Structure 1
């Protein structure tokens, strides 16, 4: 039976070059998401200067794509389980490219917020789909590392994009940031179309009319032996539904992951969304402020890469709890403020290491906690619900800054309050039960 089970063949076989190519494309797509999400943060100082927006108004603009991500994660994430991972990714890329390009035409904050919301729809659905594809194209041995590499694509994209953004912002034209993002997004569409076949897990689970032919074609492409026929679908799996994530057996995992991710996002997005604006308010240029976000994401990429090997050796739960608690300390320390630009870069680098390592742990838990038929749906639901924290983060921080007298005067108190999110996330994660 195992010899005729395509999932077993992938699980126990070697990771071929072709499988790593798919993983690399997923890393690139997450890098694209990383830049797209943070493009408004890179542009934040310029937006504030051109339109004279208050901290609270800027918080609305910075939150817009996060609202879209929440909706897109649930709706388009579910689409990946119903219609396939590949069609969902292609649709999300088209939506993202359109939203980024239209952002360049904005003439007022609310118009920009609208286009950012549309961009967020595509980003949210994309995150759910690429998480499933990475897990399903990896073998058992390499899955933890592959998942961590996929997740650190986010800060890598933000880092490389931030370097480009700092260069584009030399003349203060923030719209160029969105134009660059639109072009990069459009380039990814043919990559997915030609190089990423539908996953074997999805085809084996849903059994379209040509499932065996498509599975064998993919197995051959990946350098694995083909099968003569498909294994029978167990009766209990034949009755599965995307709503299983809210039924006994999975609802506990769903709610625990949602709580951990939601509250950690409050902390995570505080430094990512506000560090350029905060550094700029301390008297540094737009370009220097944008580079602070670059260093935050360099830290995120560094921590996430190393963290993947820790998960491979020590599992998902323990290391993730440690990083959630470390995030509390790093973000509170960020709130102490710095007297030099180098000091700011070091502070955001440390917040990036801790907060993004915890995100890597969360995404690995999504792939481990949900079975194939609801993997994208479950991931999308958790990401979507977690976006409540992501959306609320810049709004809450903006209100706190305004209440405490501004970015400089209210930095420490605001940072300490925002750090509580990771502490709550750690408590929730401690109760999580994951199967090997």
Structure 2
């Protein structure tokens, strides 16, 4: 059996993810790119620079006369900070074997359509409502809260140009037409994916397809902030003499929904409650808007592809932005829990957020044997509690080596690229 090694290169995009994984066996190599995106308010550098660096690295690795090649591209979920980089046309020159996306993106899957449409409607409705909250504009605290709510909701809409390339739609494409996998499959066997290299397999563990879990990810149509949207859309336009100039919308038209759409989505039972709503109070309820945006953010995060790459027994855990609910699905299953326990590598979920790496995992599963953990992070002013210092301290206390994208430190195993553009870890064959 040829000896294998695996290298994980984390590109410093800022508040976003871009990981290039290379597995080598003698003169053979298998490459996977996991995500490529950045949050609009947390860029470390122009994202196009990172995309071109990735393509350049792939070109350098390719055999003479052959195009830059990726065996697999994984888009863990459709948040902008994970996929926006795929909108750039530089990917036209890259040959891709397979594209893996969450089953939520499968338009032929009834469960997926219901969940995806619910998330998209919720994001659009929430953005519209935030844009109609003028009462908050004279209060700095409320303005900041509304801004953060808008940022979360907008991120939840994802990026259609990027998703078009990943799925080969609307004249967006890679050099070739890759195979598309919607993961996890409904059946267990296809969720253990064998690569072109012996003893190198990928175990896809999430997101959950359990109906009860799906219900938890789909924003309920009875949510109070959706009722607020319904009520606002039903209000008659002002006819006062002083209202000669229509108010300019705060957000683009694509983020608005019509009253008919909202009525259809919410249901007639809320229409009857319209007269009881205190609109000035509801519109000014910025805490509820922020809470709604956070719920929506978590819902999309929990559609992340969660997988373990097993290279001859060396296990690397990639969780996307999976949060508590998605983790419960993994940790409560004995076989899945065993796969994520005592890994050689852990991609710290959701940029080190407090609710993305469960206490149970840190305390009882990750182990105390020198795991390397990478933290894709760039500062976003509104999120001063990310990364969560309690989490990082707990990991460090268990002898976990944390490699931060924003402040990488080289050591015997960690290499750092010029200008801190990337940092990488290589795990030799066992």
**Greater CA radius of gyration, 1 or 2?**
2
TM over 0.5: no
Q: Which has the higher helix share?
A: 1
Specify which structure has the bigger relative contact order, considering alpha-carbon pairs within 8 angstroms and separated by 6 or more residues.
1
TM-score grouping bracket, smaller chain normalisation:
under 0.3
More strand by share: 2
